[in-house]
Chain A
Amino acid sequence: EYFIDQLRSDGVVHLPRRVTNEIASNTRYEFYTQGGVLFATSRILVVDFLTDRIPANLITGILVYKAHRIIESCQEAFILRLYRQKNKQGFIKAFTDNAVAFNTGFCHVERVMRNLFVRKLYLWPRFHIAVNSFLERHKPEVVEIHVSMTPGMLAIQTSILDILNACLRELKRYNPALEVEDLSLENAIGKPFDKTIRHYLDPLWHQLGAKTKSLVQDLKILRTLLQYLTQYDCVTFLNLLESLKASEKAFGENSGWLFLDSSTSMFVNARARVYRIADEKLNQKGKVSENSDGKKENELKRELVLESNPKWEALREVLNEIENENKNSEDFGGPGQVLICASDDRACAQLREYITDGAETFLMRLYNKTFGKDEKAGEVWMKDRKAVKSKGNARPDTGPQAKKAKLATSSKQNKHKKQQDRTIIQMIGKTEEENGEELDVEDNKELNSSQEGSIDETIPEDFPVNLPSDSYYGIFKNPLTIIHPLQGCSDPYALTRVLHEVEPRYVVLYDAELTFVRQLEIYKASRPGKPLRQVYFLIYGSSTEEQRYLTALRKEKEAFEKLIRERATMVVPEEREGRDETNLDLIRDAKPASVSTDTRKAGGQEQKNTQQTIIVDMREFRSELPSLIHRRGIDIEPVTLEVGDYILTPDVCVERKSISDLIGSLNNGRLYTQCISMSRYYKRPILLIEFDPNKSFSLIPRGSLHQEISSSDVTSKLTLLTLHFPKLRILWCPSPHATAELFEELKQNHPQPDAETAMAVTADSETLPESDKYNPGPQDFLLKMPGINAKNCRALMNHVKSIAELVTLSKDKLSEILGNAVNATQLFDFIHMTYKEAIAKEKNKR
C-alpha cells in the first residue's frame, strides 16, 4: 500500500495494481494477463498458481519484501517454488532491512537464500564505504544532549539492575542447561530479550518448575519498570510500582524480588520522587476521626515533591533554541517544522501535555488522577507553592475509579485531536503540494494571529496531513511542532510518510531508536535539497537507555560482520536459481524421504503411473501443510470444502486441528458437528491432531492430572468423541512435515479423490450412505427440539412422514410414539407455542 502511494505521488504512469479477494476468481486470469506490476497477497497467489489461473510463464519476475521472514514452509517460499517450476527465466529478488534477524539460528541466511532461489547476496551495511560516504555527504547537524538523571532515578535504576541481575542468576541456577552467553545483563536490557528467553524455554516449558516460570515473569516486569523509569514521569512510575505491590498481595504469590534489599530502596526512592514523608505527625486528629481507627500511623503527612523528568527540561531548552533560530531564519522561508519522536503513544501524549501546560500542572494533574480523590490537597498544594512552601495531603489510592477517570480524559483528548485534522489534501504533484502546504500554513497563521498572545503558550493548530489521526499527537503552531510515536502504530510506514510530508527542519529524538535513525539518514540523503537542519538526540547519560541504544548499534554491526563472513564461506551451487532442471529443491520427490527433506535424492525412483492428488480446502492455505504436501510430489487441488479439510482418497477425509483448535472446538460443539458430517459422507473420517513442533509433544502438561475423572478435561472429551464415533480415526502428528509424510503413505495404493464429488458433499446434499436410512436434514431439525433425543428420534421418524405431519399429531399420540409423557408434553408445547405467548412469557420472567 505504502509503495503504491509513494509511486503515485512520484507520478509513475503505469500504476501497479493490487490483487485482492474483491476480484472474482474467474476474472482474475484476464486481470493477470493485462500485465503491469501487480501486488498480490500470498494466499490468493498460491491458489492461483496451483489452479494455473495465473500465467506463470509470462511473469517477468517476483520481488519479495521482508526477506528475513521467509522460512522453508511458509507460503511465500511455496509460491516461489511453484513459480520456479513453471518459469525458468523470470527473476526473483528479495529485500530486507533487518540484518539482525539473520543472526539467529544456524545458517539462517543460507537457508533463506535457498528458499528464495537466489544466488547472490548483497550486503549494504552502514559502514560500507559507498554507503558511508554517501550518507556522510548529507549529514545533518546532530546535537546529542546527554541529560543526567536525577539522583533518585539513578538510585532506582541501580536497584532495578541489581534485582535483574539477581533474577538472572537464579534463573541460571535453576536451569543449568540454558545457554549462558545470551543471558547477560546487557542483553537483558535490550529489546528482544523476551523473545530470546521464550525461544530457549518454549520447547521445555511444561517441564519447568513454577519457580522458573515466575522468574521469567519477574524479568519481564522488571524490564517494564526500567522502561517506565526513563520514559515516563515519576507519578506513572510510582503508580506502576504500587499496583505491582498490591497485586502481589492480592494473589498471595511472592516472587522473591520484592523482598530484596534493592527493591526496598527502589520503593523508597520512587516515593521520594513524588512526595516527602514528613516526620512530624501534625494535625492527625482532624483526618483520622472519620474513617480509619487502626491505621493512624499510616496517615502521614505527605509533602509533594513531584520531581519532573529531566528530559522534559532538555526538550524545552531545545524547543526554545529552535524558536530562537526560527526568528532569525527568514531566508529559509518561514519557520521550520519540528518533529519530535517518542517511543509510544503514551509518551507522546505526555509530551504533548507537558509542552502545552508546563511540567508542574501536568504532574499535578496526573498525581491527582492516579492517587487522590483528594483534589483539595492538590489545590492547596498549588496555592502553597505560589507562596513559599507546599503542604498537602493525599492518600495513595489506586482505585478503579481513578483509572476510569484517566481513560475518560484520554478519550476526550483523542476526540479533540480528531477535530483538529480537518482537511485532507491529496498530493498530486510535488510542487503543488509544497505550495499548498505553505499556503495553508500561512492561512492558519493569519487566522490565529489574534490568538497568539504569549510566546509560552502553544495553540493547537489545524494542519492538513493525509494521515490517520490516531497516529498523531499534538500538532502545535509556533513553531509548527509534531509529536509522533515510534512504535505502536498500525502502519509501519507511518514515520517515513510523516517525514516526507512534514519535511521537518528539526528532529528531536526523545527516545533513541536505531531503525528510525537509519530512516532519518536515508531520508536526509535522498533529498539533499530539503531543509533538515538539525537532529537533537535526547538521551540519559550513563543510563540503561543509552546502553540499550549502544547495544542495538553493536548488534547491527555484528550482524553485518557475521553476514559478511558467512557470505565469504558460503558455497552456493550453480543451479541455485533453478533456471535449469538440476536444482534439487525443485524436484518434487514422490519417494518418502528417509532422514530430512533436504537430503532427498533426485533420480532413480520409479515413475508412478498416476499422479497423486489431495483435495485441500481453500481455508487451509493459511497453514504450511499444503506447501509440504506439494513438495512431496503430490498435486494439490484447492477447492472450497464444506466437509473436512483434506480429502486423501474417495474414502478418507481428514479434519486438521491444532491443539488450541482442538480444545476450542471440543468445547463449542464444532468438532462434534464436523465429525457428524464427516462420518455421514466418508467411510474413513480422520481427525488429525497436529502439535506445534516448537512446543512439547504432549496433550496435557505434566502433573496436571486430577484424581477424579473430570468432564472438562480434553482427554475426557476426546474419549467421549471416540465413543460416539467409533469409525473416527485419530492421527497424532508432531509436525506438519510428519503429517505430509503420513498423508503420502496413507494414499499409497488407493484411488485418487475427485474434486467434483468432494465439493458436492455439502451439509444438505442428498447422497446418502447406505447405513443411514433417513434424510439427515430433518433429523437434525428434530434433534434440536426439546423432548427428543437420539433414541426416540428414530421411533418418531418411523411413524411420521414429515414435519408437517408431526405438527398435526395430538399430545396423546405423541406420548404413544415417544413412550414418555413428559417428553411428549415438552415437544407438543414447543411446537404449538405461539410467538406472542413466548414474548409474554419472556417478559414475565423479567
Chain B
Amino acid sequence: DTVPVVPAQRGNPVLRFVRNVPWEFGDIVPDYVLGQSTCALFLSLRYHNLNPNYIHERLRRLGRSYALQLLLLQVDVKDPHQALKELAKMCVLADCTLILAWSPEEAGRYLETYKAYEQKPADLLKERVEQGFLARVTDCLTSVKSVNKTDALSLLTTFGSLAAVARAPREELSLCPGIGPQKVSGKG
C-alpha cells in the first residue's frame, strides 16, 4: 500500500520528508495519489509566479476524477498575497481543496498524514462522548432539537428508560415539566 508519485516530482525536496509512509514512482495523472478517492497536486508559489499557466493545465488534465482533490501549495515567496488570492479563487471554482504549507517539511507531513489517515474515522474531531450511561443518554436526547439537559433528565426520570421515552405517546410527553407539545420525530 504505497503512495504513487508521478515521475516528474523527482527531485522535489518534499519527497525527502515523506518518511512515515512508503512511496514509489508510478504512471498517474495527479502528482500524488493518497488513497482511493484522494489525490494531490503540488505547487510551489515561486514556480507558479514564473509559470502561471502550469497549474491550470494540470487541473484541466486532472478533471474531476477524485472525490478529494488537494492543491498542496508551498508558500515560498515573500509576498504571496496576490497569487494566493487568485489560487484560492481558482480552487473554489475547480473543486480543489487548498492546503498551504510553509516549508517542504510541512508539505511532506501533509502528504504523509493524508495517506496515513485515509481510513481513520472522524472520532478525533467529534465532541468527546462521555462514558457514563447517564451522560450518554442525555447527550443522545439533547441531540433532538429543543431538548435541553434538564428536559432529558426529566424525561428519563418520568419514563424510566430510553425505550419507554421512545414509546411514549405525544400527549404524555407534553405532560412532562418543561416540555411543550414536541415530539421525538419519526425517521426515514
Contact = CB atoms under 8 A, between A and B. Distances in A.
A790 interface: yes
A705 interface: yes
A721 B75 CA distance: 22
A774 B188 CA distance: 5
B163 A831 contact: yes
A15 interface: no
A456 interface: no
Given A729-B91, A742-B89, A833-B162, A723 B186 contact: no
Contacts of B125: 666, 669, 671-672, 717, 720-721, 724
A331 interface: no
A729 B152 CA distance: 36
B132 A778 contact: no
Interface in B130-184: 132-134, 136-137, 139-140, 143-146, 156-157, 160-163, 166-167, 184
A702 B114 CA distance: 21
Interface stretch (A360-368, A426-434, A459-467, A708-716): A708-716
Interface in B20-61: 20, 37-38
A288 interface: no
Contacts of A278: none
Interface string B53-94: 000000000000001101000010000110011001101100
A621 B1 CA distance: 49
Contacts of B187: 774-775, 777-779, 797, 800-803
Nearest to A764: B145
Interface in B78-134: 80-81, 84-85, 88-89, 91-92, 96-100, 102-103, 105-106, 109-110, 112-114, 116-118, 120-122, 124-129, 132-134
A104 B162 CA distance: 64
B140 A745 contact: no
A797 B91 CA distance: 36
Given A720-B120, A745-B85, A763-B145, A803 B186 contact: yes
The winner among A726, A734, A778, A835 for most chain B CB atoms within 10 A is A835
Contacts of B137: 830, 833, 838
B185 interface: yes
Contacts of A720: 117, 120, 122, 124-125
B161 A835 contact: yes
B166 A715 contact: no
Contacts of A386: none
A778 B114 contact: no
B100 A699 contact: yes
Contact of B105 (A666, A705, A724, A784): A705
A836 B136 CA distance: 15
Interface in A635-670: 652, 666, 668-670
B64 to A, nearest CB: 11
Determine chain B's interface SS by DSSP, over half rule. mixed
A830 B137 CA distance: 8
A227 interface: no
B162 A709 contact: no
B92 A746 contact: yes
The winner among A724, A804, A841 for most chain B CB atoms within 10 A is A804
Interface residues of A, number: 78
Contact of B117 (A672, A719, A738, A785): A719
Contact of A723 (B20, B68, B98): B68
A700 B106 contact: yes
The winner among A700, A789, A800 for most chain B CB atoms within 10 A is A700
A698 interface: yes
Given A777-B144, A835-B160, A746 B132 contact: no
A37 interface: no
Interface residues of B, number: 66
A775 B38 contact: no
B118 A723 contact: yes
A669 B75 CA distance: 29
Contacts of B99: 718, 722, 730
A786 B136 contact: yes
Contacts of B75: 697-698
A672 B126 contact: yes
Contacts of B92: 652, 684, 686, 729, 731, 746
Contacts of B161: 831-835
A723 B67 CA distance: 9
Interface of A: 652, 666, 668-673, 684, 686, 697-700, 702, 705, 707-709, 711, 715-724, 726, 728-734, 738, 741-742, 745-746, 763-764, 774-775, 777-781, 784-786, 789-790, 797-798, 800-804, 806-808, 830-836, 838-839, 841-842
Given A672-B127, A699-B102, A834-B161, 13 more contacts: A697-B80, A708-B20, A723-B118, A726-B38, A729-B96, A764-B146, A781-B144, A784-B129, A786-B136, A806-B166, A808-B167, A831-B163, A833-B162
The 9 closest A-B pairs by CB, nearest first: A669-B127, A778-B187, A802-B186, A726-B68, A807-B163, A764-B145, A784-B140, A672-B125, A719-B113
Interface of B: 19-20, 37-38, 67-68, 70, 75, 80-81, 84-85, 88-89, 91-92, 96-100, 102-103, 105-106, 109-110, 112-114, 116-118, 120-122, 124-129, 132-134, 136-137, 139-140, 143-146, 156-157, 160-163, 166-167, 184-188
27 contacts: A669-B125, A697-B75, A699-B100, A699-B106, A700-B106, A722-B68, A722-B97, A723-B120, A729-B92, A729-B96, A729-B97, A730-B98, A732-B88, A742-B85, A781-B140, A781-B184, A784-B140, A803-B184, A804-B184, A807-B166, A830-B133, A831-B161, A831-B162, A833-B161, A833-B162, A835-B161, A839-B134
